[in-house]
Amino acid sequence: MILLKDIILKSNLSNDVQSVFSDLCDKYVAHHCDDQRRKSRKSINNTRIDADSSKVDLEAAATASKFFAPHVDMMLSVDGEVQGRMCCGAARADGTALADDALYRIASMTKPVTIAASLQMAEEGRLALDQPVADILPEFAALHLWSGALALEGGFLSRPLVPSDGPPMTIYDLMRHTSGLSYSVHQADALDGAYAGQGLDAFHQRRTSVEHVAALAALPLRFVPGQRFHYSASIDLLGAVMERIEGRRIEEILSRRIFAPLGMEDSFFTVPPEKLGRLTDAWMLGEGGSASTLYDRGGRSRWRFTPKSASAGGGLISSTQDYHQFLLMLMNDGIYAGARILSPESVALMLRNHLPSGGDLTQEGDGPLSETRRPGIGMGLGGAIVLDAEKAGLPGGQGCYYWGGLLSTGFFMDKARKMIGLVMTQMMPSGATSLREDFRRGVYQALLGDIRKA
């Protein structure tokens, strides 16, 4: 087994942070490989690092450790300047070295992008956060509330949702995951099973947007909208709201409102043929903790096909550089390269806690997300917010905004310290490795001494 290690480091990166990058590469990728044979490597500033050429046996490496990651791309910026970056590992199972322009399936890191575009629409008066979803999607005018039991004749035992239950489901409920919808990833009960069985939160829908909305509306709600946080297909439904208002697909909406003005040329729901060679392979944790299963091959990826409707909550492909540009816009209160994308008020709205009673996710959330088991974490729009770093046992000051994706990608943005961190890899599910948290913890420890024991 061979180590492929493409180290990209700026000269102004401290030795301590260089060590964080190198140690994480060694922990997740390098220790599966033979250091005596290496593939050619180059740095972003053209400093050449000599090594022999060979290939990685990823399938053998995958079974070696629970820490396995096929590849890792880490970036750190401070005050808008990239301070360091490291790419290591193989982009594909054939041993192709990971390049700095690789493309990744970012899954739920799609959510902040969709939220940003929807807030643009709110600024224009195209939608309002307190607007009932049924005003735009009449399919949601007559919803049912699940009792938690199954009917003897089959299906769900439920009753109609009535005005005395509380306010109707609003756009705001979709944005903050208090809609009462669910997600198959929870795998908690028959309702989650229905989402899985019908493919209601699949990355690539086999339904049109209209058909998808109707299918979601046909299932009962888990709870009365607005009561609590439950991670769900809410952002997918928000995308359908946006489509219905604008009369165009979510792909075009995000391209026009976010990607084009930010220069995000490598972000899309369908990979163009000329860019397919840059799409990494994606791996999935197998039985016994191995990662020997290829979930999606880059060269034959399902992302090369246009779905009947795209997932506004999880379907995007992007690059490290593109997503960094999106986060820089948020860091700069809605401005990127001199262009205003969002108002400062909209950015501030994304970055504050939106749980119904202002508490944390242990008090007002449920489901298997790690955040719901960790005190001191709130929920912004599109991502989590650190409310109390000491209680959370996480590095990062109050207000640090972060989120990740099902394939273990992740980001954090600390506005107070003007710091952005990005981690890209392709290993599902997201709990398969602790790479994202190790990266953030290591960066804070090296730069700030701000480390807290979990």
Q: How confident is the model at residue 292 (pLDDT cuts 50, 70, 90)?
A: low
Q: Which of 30-44, 82-96, 159-173, 336-350 has the lowest mean pLDDT?
A: 30-44
Say if residue 61's pLDDT is above 90: no
Judge whether residue 58 has pLDDT over 60.
no
Give the distance between the most distant pair of CA atoms in the chain: 71
Which band of pLDDT confidence, cut at 50, 70 and 90, is reported for residue 305? Answer: very high
Does position 408 have pLDDT exceeding 60, yes or no? yes
Beta bridge partners of 335: 340
Mean pLDDT of 76-83: 92
- Comparing 32-36, 152-156, 269-273, 397-401, the range with the smallest average pLDDT is 32-36
Report whether 281 contacts 426 (CB < 8 A).
yes
Q: Say whether pLDDT at 93 is over 70.
A: yes
* pLDDT tier, 14 (very low <50, low <70, confident <90, very high otherwise): low
Closest of 259, 218, 257, 209 to residue 237, by C-alpha: 209
The predicted structure's pLDDT at residue 398: 82
Band of pLDDT at residue 30, cut at 50, 70 and 90: low
Contact 175, 115 (CB under 8 A): yes
Q: Does domain 116-249 have CATH number 3.40.50.1860?
A: no
Q: What is the CATH number of domain 2-109+252-447?
A: 3.40.710.10
Q: What is the pLDDT of residue 60?
A: 40
Let me know: does 278 contact 267? Beta carbons within 8 Å: no
What is the share, in percent, of the chain residues with pLDDT greater than 70?
Answer: 85
Between these two residues, 205 and 52, which has the higher pLDDT value? 205
In the block, residue with structure tokens 């307190």: 130
Q: Which residue has the higher pLDDT, 55 or 314?
A: 314
434-451 per-position pLDDT tens digit: 889 889 888 888 876 644
Query: Residue 173: is its pLDDT beyond 80?
Result: yes
Q: What's the rounded Cα separation, in Å, for the pair 37 and 42?
A: 16
User: What pLDDT, on a 0 to 100 scale, did the predictor assign at position 394?
Assistant: 76
Write down the pLDDT at residue 268.
98
Quote the mean pLDDT of the chain. 86
Position 41 pLDDT exceeds 50: no
Q: What pLDDT does 261 receive?
A: 97
In three-state form (DSSP H/G/I as H, E/B as E, the rest C), the secondary structure along the chain is CEECEEEEECCCCCHHHHHHHHHHHHHHCHHHCEEEEECCEECCCCCEECCCCCCCCHHHHHCCCCCCCCEEEEEEEECCEEEEEEEEEECCCCCCECCCCCEEECHHHHHHHHHHHHHHHHHCCCCCCCCEHHHHCHHHCCCEEEEEEECCCCCEEEEECCHHHCCCCEHHHHHHCCCCCCCHHHCCCHHHHHHHHCCCCCCEECCCHHHHHHHHHHCCECCCCCCCEECCCHHHHHHHHHHHHHCCCHHHHHHHHHHHHHCCCCCECCCCHHHHHHECCEEECCHHHCCCEEEECHHHCHHHCCCCEECCCCCCEECHHHHHHHHHHHHCCCEECCEECCCHHHHHHHCCCCCCCCCCHHHHEECCCHHHHCCCEEECCCCEEECCHHHHCCCCCCCCEEEECCCCCEEEEECCCCEEEEEECCEECHHHCCHHHHHHHHHHHHHCCCCCCC
pLDDT at 287: 66
Q: Tokens for 158?
A: 């439920």
* Dist CA 421 CA 403 (whole Å): 11
Which pLDDT band holds residue 153 (cuts at 50, 70, 90)?
A: confident
Check for a shared fold between 2-109+252-447 and 116-249. Answer: yes
* Range 255-280 average pLDDT: 98
Is residue 383's pLDDT more than 90? yes
Q: Domain spans of the chain?
A: 2-109+252-447, 116-249
Mean pLDDT of 300-306: 97
Residue 362 has pLDDT above 60, yes or no: yes
Q: What is the residue type of 378? A: G
